[in-house]
Chains A and B, each alone.
Chain A
Amino acid sequence: MNLASPPSYPESKDAAEINGIANRIRRDVIRMVHAAGCGHPGGPLGLAEIFATLYFQELRLDPENPDHPLRDRLVLSNGHCCAVLYSSLARRGFFPADSLHTFRKFGSPLQGHPHKGHLPGIEMSTGSLGNGVSVAAGMALAAKMDKLPTRIFAITSDGESQEGQPWEMATAAAHYGLGNLTLLLDWNGIQIDGRTEDVMDPGDIGAKYAAFGWHVQEVDGHDLENLSSALAAAKEETSRPSLLACRTVIGKGVSYMEDVSDFHGMAPNDEQAKLALQELGDPAPEDLNHESPALWNN
Chain B
Amino acid sequence: MLGAVGMAPLNYSAPLPLQVATPPSPPDVKKEATRAAYGRALESLGHSREDIVVLDADLSGSTKTAAFGKSFPDRFFNMGVAECNMMGFAAGLALSGKTVFASSFAMFAAGKAWEQIRQSICVPNLNVKIVASHAGITVGEDGASHQMLEDIALMRVLPHMKVVVPADSRQTEAAVEALATTPGPCYMRTSRAATPIMEDAPEFTFGKAFTHRQGKDLAFVACGVEVYQSLLAAEELAKEGIECTVIDCATVNPLDSETICEAAKSCGRLMTVEEHQVTGGLGEAVAATLLENNTLVPMQRHGMKGEFGQTGPAASLLSHYHLDGPGIAEQARLFLGATQ
Q: Is the CB of B89 within 8 A of A134?
A: yes
Docked Cα-Cα span, A138 to B82, in Å, equals: 14
Bound together, the chains give a CA A168 to CA B74 distance in angstroms of: 21
B120 & A172 in contact (Cβ 8 Å cutoff): no
Please state if B91 and A124 are interface contacts (CB–CB under 8 Å).
yes
Q: How far is the CA of A165 from the CA of B119 in the complex (A)?
A: 13
Q: Which B residues touch A168, using CB under 8 A?
A: 80, 82, 84-85
B82 to chain A, nearest CB (A): 4
User: Which chain A positions have C-beta within 8 A of B90?
Assistant: 138
Determine the chain A residues whose CB is within 8 A of the CB of B88 once the complex forms. Answer: 131-135, 137-138, 165, 169
Contact B84 A134 (CB under 8 A): yes
User: In residues 72-130 of chain B, which contact A (Cβ within 8 Å)?
Assistant: 74-75, 77, 79-80, 82, 84-85, 87-98, 115-116, 119-120, 123-125
State the CA gap A175–B88 with chains docked (Å).
16
Q: Which of A126-148 contact B (CB under 8 A)?
A: 126-128, 130-143, 145-146
From the candidates B84, B93, B98, B123, name the one contacting A165 in the complex (CB within 8 A). Answer: B84
Q: Tell me if B120 and A125 are in contact (CB < 8 A).
A: yes
- What residue of chain A has the Cβ atom nearest to residue B84's Cβ? A165
With a cutoff of 8 Å between Cβ atoms, the chain A residues found around residue B80 in the complex are 168, 171-172, 175
- List, in ascending order, chain B residues with CB within 8 A of A164's CB: 84
Cα(A171)–Cα(B79), bound, Å: 9
Residue of A nearest to B88 (CB): A134
Is A117's CB within 8 Å of the partner chain B? Answer: yes
Of all chain A residues, the one with the shortest Cβ separation from B118 is: A128
Interface of A, secondary structure class, is: helix
A267 to B90, CA, bound (A): 36
Tell me if B119 and A125 are in contact (CB < 8 A).
yes
Distance in Å from the Cβ of A134 to the closest Cβ of chain B?
2
- Checking A130, A134, A141, A165 against B77 with a beta-carbon cut-off of 8 angstroms, the contacting residue is A141
* CB contact under 8 A between A141 and B92, given known A134-B84, A171-B80, A176-B77: yes
Range for the number of chain B residues in contact with chain A: 20 to 34
* A142-B98, A165-B88 as given contacts; A117 in contact with B124, CB under 8 Å: yes
Across-interface contacts of A124 in B (CB, < 8 A): 91-92, 95, 120, 124
Q: Are A125 and B124 in contact (CB under 8 A)?
A: yes
Produce 1/0 per residue, B50-83, CB < 8 A to A. Answer: 0001000000000000000000001101011010
B115 to chain A, nearest CB (A): 6
Question: Which of A69, A131, A142 is close to B93, meaning CB atoms less than 8 Å apart?
Answer: A142
Residue of B nearest to A146 (CB): B96
Residues of B within 8 A of A140 (CB): 92
A143 to B123: give the CA distance in the assembly, Å.
Answer: 23
B179 to chain A, nearest CB (A): 19
Complex Cα spacing A176 to B115, Å:
24
Chain B residues contacting A134 (CB-CB under 8 Å) are: 84-85, 87-89, 91-92, 116, 120
A208 to B87, CA, bound (A): 23
Minimal beta-carbon separation of A71 from chain B (angstroms): 11
A65: min CB distance to chain B, Å: 16
A137 touching B89, Cβ below 8 Å: yes
- Decide if B93 touches A141 in the complex (CB within 8 Å): yes
Interface pair A131/B119, CB less than 8 Å apart:
yes
> B47 → chain A, closest Cβ, in Å?
18
Q: A125-B123, A165-B88, A169-B88 are in contact. Are A142 and B82 (CB under 8 A)?
A: no
Give which listed residue, B85, B93, B95, contacts A123 with CB less than 8 A.
B95
Max count, chain B CB within 10 A of own CB: residue among A132, A143, A171, A172: A172
The complex places the Cα of A118 from the Cα of B119 at a distance, in Å, of 15
Q: Which residues of B contact A138 (CB under 8 A)?
A: 88-96
Q: Which of A55-82 contact B (CB under 8 A)?
A: 69
B residues 152-210 in Cβ contact with A at 8 Å: none
A116 within 8 A of B: yes
Residues of A within 8 A of B98 (CB): 142
Q: In the complex, what's the smallest C-beta–C-beta distance from A214 to chain B, in angstroms?
A: 15
Q: What residue in chain B is nearest A139 (Cβ atoms)?
A: B92
Minimal Cβ-Cβ distance residue in B for A130? B84
B79 — nearest CB in chain A belongs to which residue?
Answer: A172
Which residues of chain A are near B53, meaning CB under 8 Å?
142, 145
Asked if A115 is at the interface of the complex by the 8 Å CB criterion, the answer is: yes
Interface centre among A130, A143, A146, A164 (most CB of B within 10 A): A130
**How far does the alpha carbon of A133 sit from the alpha carbon of B120 in the complex, in Å?**
11
CA–CA, A140 to B116, complex, Å?
Answer: 18
19 A-B residue pairs with Cβ-Cβ distance under 8 Å, sorted by A, are A116-B124, A123-B95, A125-B119, A125-B120, A125-B124, A127-B119, A131-B88, A133-B88, A134-B91, A134-B92, A134-B116, A137-B89, A142-B96, A143-B96, A145-B53, A169-B85, A172-B80, A172-B82, A176-B77
Interface pairs A-B: 9 shortest CB-CB: A138-B92, A134-B88, A142-B96, A168-B85, A138-B89, A168-B82, A139-B92, A135-B92, A116-B124
Using CB atoms and an 8 Å cutoff, list the residues of chain B in contact with chain A.
53, 74-75, 77, 79-80, 82, 84-85, 87-98, 115-116, 119-120, 123-125
Binding site for B on A (CB under 8 A): 69, 115-117, 123-128, 130-143, 145-146, 164-165, 168-169, 171-172, 175-176
